[in-house]
Structure 1
Amino acid sequence: MKSQAWLRGMAVGLCALMASAQVSARDLTIGVEAIDYSPAYAWRDGQFVGAAREILDAFAAANGHRLIFRPLPVKRLLAELIHGGVDLKFPDSPDWQAAIRRGATLVYSAPVFAYIDGTVIRRDRVGRGADAVRSLGTVAGFTPFAWKNRVDAGSVELKENPGFEPLLRQVLAGRIDGAYVNVAVALHAAGALTDGQGGLVYDPDLPHISDSYRLSSRVAPEIVAEFDSWLAANGAVVAAIVARTGAEAGLKASR
């Protein structure tokens, strides 16, 4: 009798656990940047792709969620997150557009994977130092934190470009001295340019920063907590995706 009672209790517990899992499973709208930032992430041909997509898909599959990716311009994406237009945002960092975030109750995941934002220049300019950089390009909406003092002092002119490939072509053509970009993305894109084979390089002696991409939310902090638990238990899965895609390329050069 005790055995039967124990089995009945176990069955009830399992049913409750399954019901709880079903309740937590949901459709989630993730706001993403409408740019090609391969291999880290990209919106291409109507699809969100790259290392970030693979990681988020693995998390969703493990927890029964259905992900809906919504591409938005970089400058608009944060506003949508703050006002509840999307459930989650990737990538994100509490340091990005800090003035706009002030007063907003946002939660951030643990680091998902690392990146270097650094300066890509033509190979023939390597070794000239930061004083030789008078004009610096960025993708519109991105802030060159490592160059902030020089930009504020007026010694470096900042030029925004709406696209990543056109930005790199400006560097190749000599119209700007360098581009402040995600290094893994720049190296990936430079290799795809016909005239960029070996022409663009990352100079680790120029200003750069190291940080990590995170998942964020205002309206679904419980999903961020669930994602953190999944990350902690699936570090090997994430590491394998990052290594295979090259999403952390350039990190060793800066260490």
Structure 2
Amino acid sequence: MNFYNKSIKCIFLFIFLQFNYAQSQTYSVGVENLNYAPYFYIDSSGNYKGFSNDIFELFMQKTGIKFKFLPMPIFRLYKEFIDGNIDFKFPDSINWQSEMKKNKNIIYSDDVITYIDGIVMKNENKNKNISEIKTIGTIRGFEVKEYKDKNKNIKFLESNNISELIDSLYKDKIDAVFFNIAVALYIVNNNVQYKNKFMFRKDLPYVLDHYKMSTIKNKKLIEDFNNFLKNNNKEITDLKKKNGIIY
């Protein structure tokens, strides 16, 4: 009987220690080193902020799992992720950088949040068609196939500084910008000189997709994250409202 009791205790101790190890382990999440408010941004102290940080903070609070966020330029982020040097990437999409991901067994979470990447122009250019667009500002590392395929003469100005791209648009140095329209309009609506001067050209090609979390080696945690997304819909909706995200 004593041997039996000791065996049971050892089994429970083993399970307890394994559970605590899983809960205390810190996972790395590669994130884009961009000011992409209201979705995410890096503050002056190098901290990850915005809706994305809020939802991961809620997930960590609910599960005890710990994340460490590693901001990187987009190309480096993809390389570090594909080389297996970081545990997770956020945001990600099945449709992004498909050539780089070829033959990699990437596991994606369920949809975290909807986004639209599209053309934002000055209101006075609302009737310009694709053939009249000469220059588009976009984020370094973004694919803009919708416009490269339709107008081979378009030139692309790439930058990691989104505010500078908007300013170039305001000063007529470029004809349009192409990235997340909520991010573009967030900048526009929080700057007095830009307000009411720009518009989303929804009559031109745009991308409607979803941000997901991705991993190559942590399928179980993705499953836990999916369950969290399903079971905490109200709190996640509240986080969207808090950050001014309308969809």
TM-score (normalised: structure 1): 0.86
Aligned to 2:3: none
Q: For residue 128 of structure 1, report the CA deviation from its aligned partner.
A: 2.6
Aligned to 2:5: none
Superposed CA deviations along residues 4-49 of structure 1, whole A, max 9, x for unmatched, are xxxxx9x999988765642431211111111100001111221100
Could you tell me how far apart the structure 1 residues matched to 2:72 and 2:171 are?
29
Asked whether the 8 Å contact 1:41–1:51 carries over to 2, the reply is yes
Asked whether the 8 Å contact 1:184–1:246 carries over to 2, the reply is no
Unpaired runs of 5+ residues, structure 2, are: 1-7
Aligned to 1:42: 41
Q: Does 1:196 align with 2:194?
A: yes
Q: Which amino acid aligns with 2:69?
A: F
Aligned to 2:4: none
Aligned to 2:121: 121
Could you tell me how far apart the structure 1 residues matched to 2:18 and 2:40 are?
32
Q: 1:243 to 1:13 in 2, by over 3 A?
A: farther
Superposed CA deviations along residues 161-209 of structure 1, whole A, max 9, x for unmatched, are 2310011111111111100010110011112334211222212112111
Q: Does 1:187 align with 2:217?
A: no
Q: Which amino acid aligns with 2:122?
A: R
Could you tell me how far apart the structure 2 residues matched to 1:239 and 1:192 are?
23
More off after superposition, 121-130 vs 135-144:
121-130
SS in 1 for 2:163: helix
Superposed counterparts of 1:144-155, under 5 Å:
144-151=144-151, 154-155=152-153
Aligned to 1:54: 54
Aligned to 1:5: none
Aligned CA RMSD, in angstroms, stands at 2.2
Count of matched residue positions in the alignment of Structure 1 and Structure 2: 238
Q: For residue 146 of structure 1, report the CA deviation from its aligned partner.
A: 2.8
Unpaired runs of 5+ residues, structure 1, are: 1-8
Asked whether the 8 Å contact 2:109–2:223 carries over to 1, the reply is yes
Q: Percent identity?
A: 24
Superposed counterparts of 1:1-255, under 5 Å:
21-25=19-23, 26-45=25-44, 46-151=46-151, 154-247=152-245, 249=246
Superposed CA deviations along residues 134-156 of structure 1, whole A, max 9, x for unmatched, are 211101111124324124xx132
Superposed CA deviations along residues 97-142 of structure 1, whole A, max 9, x for unmatched, are 1100001121110000000001010111113333332211101111
Q: Which amino acid aligns with 2:105?
A: T
Q: 1:24 to 1:215 in 2, by over 3 A?
A: same
Could you tell me how far apart the structure 1 residues matched to 2:12 and 2:243 are?
38
Asked whether the 8 Å contact 2:34–2:160 carries over to 1, the reply is no
Q: 1:222 to 1:178 in 2, by over 3 A?
A: same
More off after superposition, 238-247 vs 99-108:
238-247
Asked whether the 8 Å contact 1:130–1:207 carries over to 2, the reply is no
Q: Which amino acid aligns with 2:117?
A: D
